[in-house]
Amino acid sequence: MCGIVGYLDLFGETCDHELLNAMNDQIIHRGPDDEGYYFSNEIGFGFRRLSIIDLTKGHQPLANEDESIWLLFNGEIYNYKTLRKELLDKGHEFKTETDSEVIVHLYEEYGTDFVKMLRGMFAIAIWDNQARRLVLARDLFGIKPLYYAAGDRYLAFGSEIKSLLKIPAVSREIDREAFWNYLTFQYVPEPNTMFEGVKKLPPAHYLVVENGDWEIRRYEQLDFQPQDLPLSYFVEGTIDALRESVRVHMNSDVPRGAFLSSGVDSSAIVALLKELEEVQTFTVGFEGAGSQSELEFAKETARLLGTKHRDTVISAKRYWETLPKLVYHQDEPVADPSAIALFFVAELASQYVTVVLSGEGADEIFGGYTIYREPLSLKMFDYLPMGMRKTLGDVAEWLPYGMKGRGFLLRGSKPLEERFFGNAYLYSERDKHEFVHINPEREHLKRSTDVTKVYYDLAKRHDAVTKMQLLDLHTWLPGDILMKADKMTMANSLELRVPFLDREVFQFASQIPAEYRLLNGTTKNVLREAVRGILPKEVAERKKLGFPVPLRTWLREEFYEPVRELIGSSTLDDLFDKEHVLHMLEEHRAGVRDHARKVWAIVIFLLWYEAFVTNTRVFVPQAPESVKIRREQTLMEMEVANEL
């Protein structure tokens, strides 16, 4: 796992070496073990390495035999040994055993089509010296991040935005469209970021720069292809696909472990790991109502599976004190409280291992979120004329907030495209117009429905459940789930791998009909049935908790005063009405309405603004303390081994 940066002068002038060094220094936490550079006239590559495979020969940037092609690569390719053999048979010569070098020769052999052959997670940059061509590519699901900034005379890229902000020409101005949609989704939908001058390369896309011009192309499209086959076929095939995926995701020359929450996803990964080796597992809990149950469930699961388990409990005080630094590490605001939870469990794991496996992606692929059952509960509304449904919705709007049945009528009155925007839905368009000083129509900005329309159009032929999954796969998964997974683990110099988000696993799971996914009144039914042979019954049937944070309680108690002060001192009156937000905070504290997630979105945004725009909070790039701990432990283990 690594960090990459690069700068291309579109006018062909020499790349600024000092600037590239400064960009690379910003991401030392992503690769504290090594750094490397390549310069050739207009192009500059910078690299930070966290050593995982071929610890002695994995230096980058990496070139082919005649140094006509140069590579930067962040990620892991799980089919690289098969690809390497094929390339050897074609006459290619290798200097290392790394997956990185395989990519170089794949490009040499197949050009930009190389990306379609990769099974893994990746952000890739290739410089073709002969063609004077730059190619950037991102993996199928968006597991690894890749940002870029483009001006009249340059195109720069990096694993994290903070590197690009070292370029004086890159604007730190707030992207108003991004802010508008952030308030609905709790993250900024791709390709935008909260910075006007920075964009994300979308998953399953590559960017090509040649002769001063550049364009972005999609190389593959995720979709579901349900097949009319027996349930038993999918149950048996799912466990086989997962078992094989976990096996290939274990490839590393450093210690491994796994995150373990209370749910079936991470438990299944741990159980499959346990079939192959002894496993270290890690979880986190929080002081506050209900926070201990997650720890107890995880401990019991670890006991049943026989892992070496460690956990940590985080107080409200420590959470709040650490929060500004973690917002800085995220690069842009993500108002998901569990993103911060992920940092703490990664911090714990990083003291003992360098690689962890986790269960991200199972819900999106196998149909695991409870909200996916909503179309079944609202089925009766499908038989009503749209005019009658709208009337019911209008009546529901006048009912008292919190009245039983109000939400049911509101949801049933709307078609799927107007009620489901992904797993997080904070502010409606009406909510935002009440206090945000942005007019999307007048400013010609995309709204929430514009963001999701492209994916609903893609899914027109599918049933409602599959439409919801496809929307989450393209928005929620890369924008929230995978973003926090990468940033919070890499802040601790820890590599996270996600066996559910594997090309082969998805290819099989995409064939499961929606009725099988939600069979027996549950979610991800096929997955639950598939893992019954490797998990105790109580674990296989347990409801999903994740790493729950008692945010509602903390905002009424420990967080109330600092949050009120943070919002009250805001200078962004031209962007939103802070008195409106303070009123929501007071209503939440008094128990009038639950505004926790809505208020939290503003809190995270203000902390981001202080870190990146006003520089009120300054953070110095550095390798985490856990790296030193791991190295000391490795040295001790080597000494013991030598003595034996």
Per-residue pLDDT tens for 576-619?
A: 999 999 999 999 999 999 999 999 999 999 999 999 999 888 88
pLDDT category of residue 643 using cuts at 50, 70 and 90:
low
Phi-psi region of 614 (alpha: psi -120 to 50; beta: other; left: phi over 0): alpha
The least confident of 100-114, 315-329, 384-398, 583-597 is 384-398
Strand partners, 73: 124
Per CATH, the homologous superfamily of domain 2-218 is Aminohydrolase, N-terminal nucleophile (Ntn) domain (3.60.20.10)
Select which of 2, 121, 279, 534 is catalytic.
Answer: 2
Q: Looking at beta carbons, which pairs linking 411-418 to residues 24 or more positions away fall under 8 Å?
A: 411/374, 411/378, 412/378, 412/380, 412/381, 413/381, 413/389, 414/389, 415/386, 416/375, 416/456, 416/464, 416/467, 416/468, 417/449, 417/452, 417/453, 417/456, 418/449
642's tokens: 């030598």
Establish whether 2 is a catalytic residue: yes
Name residue 441's amino acid: E
Structure-block tokens of residue 495: 């590599």
Q: Is the peptide bond before 191 cis (omega within 30 degrees of 0)?
A: yes
Name the nearest CA neighbour of 16 among 47, 2, 37. Answer: 37
DSSP string across 326-376: HHHHHSS----HHHHHHHHHHHHHTTT-SEEE--TTHHHHHT--GGGGHHH
In this structure, the dihedral spanned by the alpha carbons of residues 544, 549, 553 and 555, taken in order and rounded to 10 degrees, is -140
SS (HEC) of 579-599: HHHHHHHHHHHHCCCCCHHHH
Rounded Cα distance between 94 and 276, Å, is 30
Mean pLDDT of 298-306: 91
Pull the structure tokens for residue 288. 């506050």
Residue 290 predicted with pLDDT over 70: no
What percent of the chain stands above pLDDT 70?
94
**Topology adopted by domain 231-369+475-544:** Rossmann fold (3.40.50)
Sequence letter at residue 381: F
- Supply 122's token pair: 């990746």
Task: Give the Cα separation of 15 and 537 in Å (integer).
Answer: 60
Phi, psi of 206 (to 5 degrees): -135, 155
Check: CB of residue 69 under 8 Å from CB of residue 128: yes
Phi, psi of 125 (to 5 degrees): -130, 130
Question: Residue 84 is encoded by which pair of tokens?
Answer: 């390497």
Closest CA to 124 of 30, 35, 61: 61
Residue in the structure block whose two tokens are 């073990």: 33
* Structure confidence at residue 405 (pLDDT): 80
Q: What letter would DSSP give residue 480?
A: I
Distance of CA 351 to the CA centre of its chain: 22
Predicted local distance difference test score (pLDDT) of residue 532? 94
Specify which of 283-297, 430-444, 526-540, 630-644 reaches the highest per-range mean pLDDT. 430-444
Choose among 552, 431, 468: nearest CA to 181. 431
| Tokens read off for 635 | 């040295």
Give tens-digit pLDDT for 487-507: 999 999 999 999 999 999 999
Q: How far is CA 244 from CA 357, 503, 505, in A?
A: 14, 12, 9
Q: Could you report the per-residue pLDDT of 316-343, keeping only the tens digit for each?
A: 999 999 999 999 999 999 999 988 889 9
- What are the structural domain ranges in the chain? 2-218, 231-369+475-544, 370-469
| Strand arrangement, sheet containing 355-357 | 308-314, 280-286, 256-259, 355-357, 495-497
What's the angle, vertex CA 629, arms to CA 625 and CA 635, rounded to 5? Answer: 145
Q: Name the helix (H) or strand (E) containing 65.
A: none
Distance, in Å, from the CA atom of 421 to the CA atom of 411, rounded to the nearest integer, reads 12
User: What CA–CA distance (Å, rounded) separates 44 from 70?
Assistant: 11
Q: Would strands 280-286 and 256-259 be described as parallel, antiparallel, or unpaired?
A: parallel
State yes or no: cis peptide before 61, omega within 30 of 0.
Answer: yes
Is residue 395 predicted with pLDDT exceeding 50?
A: yes
Q: Quick one: tokens of 35?
A: 């750094």
Strand segments (E) across 365-440: none
Work out the mean pLDDT of the chain and round it to a whole number.
Answer: 91
Determine contact, residues 190/430, Cβ cutoff 8 Å: no
Q: Which two tokens stand for residue 354?
A: 């360098």
Count each helix (H run) and each strand (E run) in the chain, helices first.
30, 17
**Which tokens hold the place of 250?**
């274990």
Please give the model's pTM, rounded to 2 decimal places: 0.93
CA–CA distance, 68 with 231 (Å, rounded to integer): 52
Q: Which residues make Cβ contacts (< 8 Å) with residue 111, sequence separation at least 6?
A: none
Q: Can you tell me the distance from the alpha carbon of 494 to that of 97, in angstroms, rounded to the nearest whole number?
A: 22
Instruction: Give the integer Cα–Cα distance in Å for 496 and 220.
Output: 24
Query: In the chain, what percentage of residues exceed pLDDT 90?
Result: 76
Q: Can you give the pLDDT at residue 53?
A: 45
**Are 291 and 548 a contacting pair, CB within 8 Å?**
yes
> With contact defined as beta carbons under 8 Å apart, do 117 and 103 qualify?
no
**Are 136 and 125 contacting, i.e. CB atoms less than 8 angstroms apart?**
yes
Model confidence at 637, pLDDT cuts 50, 70, 90, reads low
Q: Are 28 and 623 in contact (CB under 8 A)?
A: yes
Q: CA 166 to CA 187: how far, in whole Å? A: 23
Q: What pLDDT shows up at residue 55? A: 47
pLDDT attached to residue 541: 76
Q: What is the mean pLDDT of residues 184-188?
A: 97
Contact between 598 and 584 under an 8 Å Cβ cutoff? The reply is yes
Query: Within 10 A of 628 (CB to CB), how many other CB atoms are there?
Result: 12
Q: SS3 of 156, please?
A: strand
Q: Which residues pair with 218 in a beta bridge?
A: 205
Q: Residue 397: CB partners within 8 Å, gap ≥ 6?
A: 410
What is the pLDDT, as a whole number, of residue 631? 55
- Residue 288 has a pLDDT of 73
